[in-house]
């Protein structure tokens, strides 16, 4: 039995992970679950999976949750609160695998703690690598941790790599990664109409069931920009070796182009339980609960180059990784603030890349050599983005 800790249990990845774990409860025991403030769903999960310990980051909600448990048969579950508790549960002795599914920069420190503790990390939090790539990969190497990517694209690439491949290795026979993207809901919308896009429209992804923030990132293609940066780090590739390909059907989840002319692609229905099950079973495979892909239902697959005029966030991501140092951290932080402002209807959809670009212009590139430098860059970029939002409002 492997002990499982899920960071971000109430999000879409966390829910899917618990679904897969329940199908293989002879192999996995749920040791710890964490949530920010969705205590109703967390309570339901505790009734089903009976973890030993839970973290509710919001202290007020944690107390409410603890009180709720006292009235039940699962009152023996230990309840912790605060962000530091995320690191505590990610490094517990009886935890073997950590699903790192907290969205955004908030997932960095607990994911890094798991890496330093030598855990098997099922990485669904791309921001951890975007912000601290070399530091994170060094921690994995030094501790002997196993890093398995959960994003459907990176998981697909991992599956298409040679036998025995480990994250962070350079596959010498692979010359290029083709990173697929659905193109989001506005792939064909006239450019002049993007200014009127509403949050409700932006979160309605055509293929995937995702959280609000990630859905907006998919609509702007920043999600793909962050994935491109993550792919550079995970697979030891340069930005010019990673080509973003618009593939509206989301059947091929990414491809690897080899030096002999072979292109390997991983295909499947758009359901995150596939990469989750692959990583949980690795190096074997087991049932994910997903319907098999019926290739006859697909009928056709389309591919086109990503238009950087339509998707300026993707251009900014390439600019950030090529600049290096703290710039990917600045990019990510400014994007988180801009997306939050858009979802709160403070700025327009088309303001998101403007806020990010102006934020990046305020920073001089310097090495992201320590965690302190990275966290300070993240903090300052958020301040800069908020100031730009105020300027745009006037």
Side-chain-side CA neighbours of 55 within 13 Å: the count stands at: 24
Structure-block tokens of residue 281: 């079973």
pLDDT of residue 209: 61
Please choose, from the candidates 163, 118, 183, the residue with its C-alpha nearest in 3D space to the C-alpha of residue 264.
163
**Distance of alpha carbon 236 from alpha carbon 172, whole angstroms:** 10
Structure-block tokens of residue 128: 């951890």
* pLDDT confidence tier of residue 288, bands split at 50, 70 and 90: very high
pLDDT of residue 168: 85
**Distance of alpha carbon 142 from alpha carbon 140, whole angstroms:** 6
211 pLDDT above the threshold of 80? no
pLDDT of residue 126: 84
Which range is least confidently modeled, 30-44, 117-131, 204-218, 284-298? Answer: 204-218
Structure-block tokens of residue 195: 């200014």
| Residue 154 neighbours by CB under 8 Å, 6+ apart | 227, 230, 231, 234, 254
pLDDT digits (tens, 9 = 90+) for 111-138: 999 999 999 999 998 888 998 889 999 9
Give me the torsion for CA of 331, 136, 151, 79, rounded to 10°.
-100
Please choose, from the candidates 249, 264, 248, the residue with its C-alpha nearest in 3D space to the C-alpha of residue 297.
249
pLDDT digits (tens, 9 = 90+) for 2-48: 999 999 999 999 999 999 999 999 999 999 999 998 999 999 999 99
Side-chain-side CA neighbours of 230 within 13 Å: the count stands at: 26
* pLDDT confidence tier of residue 104, bands split at 50, 70 and 90: confident
Structure-block tokens of residue 150: 């959960």
pLDDT of residue 204: 80
* Residue 164 or 351, more confident: 351
Q: Does residue 35 contact residue 130 with C-beta atoms inside 8 Å? A: no
Which domains does the chain carry? Answer: 2-149 (3.40.50.720), 324-394 (1.10.1740.10)
Count the residues in the chain: 394
pLDDT of residue 109: 93
* pLDDT confidence tier of residue 207, bands split at 50, 70 and 90: low
Question: What's the pTM value of the predicted model, to 2 decimals?
Answer: 0.92
Is residue 384 packed enough to be buried (19+ CB in 10 Å), middle (13-18) or exposed (0-12)?
buried
pLDDT of residue 213: 87
User: Which helix or strand (DSSP H or E) is residue 277 part of?
Assistant: helix 273-281
Q: Is the dihedral of CA 72, 75, 78, 80 positive or negative?
A: positive
Report, as an integer, the average pLDDT of 300-318.
94
| Residue 164 neighbours by CB under 8 Å, 6+ apart | none
Report, as an integer, the average pLDDT of 50-65.
95
Place of tokens 């980051």: 57
Report, as an integer, the average pLDDT of 132-159.
95
pLDDT of residue 170: 87
**Distance of alpha carbon 108 from alpha carbon 272, whole angstroms:** 21
Structure-block tokens of residue 137: 């990969």
Please choose, from the candidates 88, 146, 148, the residue with its C-alpha nearest in 3D space to the C-alpha of residue 124.
148
**Distance of alpha carbon 370 from alpha carbon 319, whole angstroms:** 22
206 pLDDT above the threshold of 70? no
pLDDT of residue 144: 95
């Amino acid at each position: 039995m492997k002990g499982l800790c899920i960071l971000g249990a109430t999000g879409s990845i966390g829910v899917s992970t618990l679904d897969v774990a329940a199908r293989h409860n002879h192999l996995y025991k749920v040791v710890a679950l964490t949530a920010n403030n969705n205590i109703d769903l967390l309570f339901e999960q505790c009734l089903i999976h009976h973890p030993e310990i839970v973290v509710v980051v919001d202290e007020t909600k944690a107390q409410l949750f603890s009180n709720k448990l006292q009235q039940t048969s699962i009152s023996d579950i230990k309840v912790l609160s605060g962000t530091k508790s995320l690191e505590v549960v990610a490094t517990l002795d009886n935890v073997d695998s950590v699903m790192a599914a907290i969205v955004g920069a908030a997932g960095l420190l607990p994911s890094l703690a798991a890496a330093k503790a030598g855990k098997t990390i099922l990485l669904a939090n791309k921001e951890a690598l975007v912000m601290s790539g070399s530091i994170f990969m060094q921690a994995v190497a030094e501790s002997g941790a196993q890093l398995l990517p959960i994003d459907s694209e990176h998981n697909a690439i991992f599956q298409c790599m040679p036998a025995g491949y480990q994250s962070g290795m350079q596959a010498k026979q692979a010359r290029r990664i083709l990173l697929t993207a659905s193109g989001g809901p506005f792939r064909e919308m006239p450019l002049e109409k993007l200014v009127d896009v509403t949050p409700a429209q932006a979160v309605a992804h055509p293929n995937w069931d995702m959280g609000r923030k990630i859905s907006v990132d998919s609509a702007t293609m920043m999600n793909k920009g962050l994935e491109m940066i993550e792919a550079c780090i995970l697979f030891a590739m340069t930005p010019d070796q990673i080509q973003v390909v618009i593939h509206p059907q989301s059947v091929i989840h990414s491809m690897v182009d080899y030096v002999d002319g072979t292109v390997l692609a991983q295909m499947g229905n758009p359901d995150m339980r596939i990469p989750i099950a692959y990583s949980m079973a690795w190096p074997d495979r087991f049932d994910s609960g997903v319907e098999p892909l019926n290739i006859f239902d697909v009928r056709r697959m389309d591919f086109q180059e990503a238009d950087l005029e339509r998707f300026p966030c993707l251009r900014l991501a390439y600019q950030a990784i090529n600049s290096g140092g703290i710039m990917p951290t600045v990019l990510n932080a400014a994007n988180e603030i801009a997306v939050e402002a858009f979802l709160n209807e403070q700025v327009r959809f088309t303001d998101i890349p403007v806020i990010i670009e102006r934020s990046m212009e305020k920073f001089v590139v310097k090495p992201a050599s320590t965690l302190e430098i990275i966290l300070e860059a993240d903090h300052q970029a958020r301040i800069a983005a908020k100031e730009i939002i105020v300027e745009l409002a006037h």
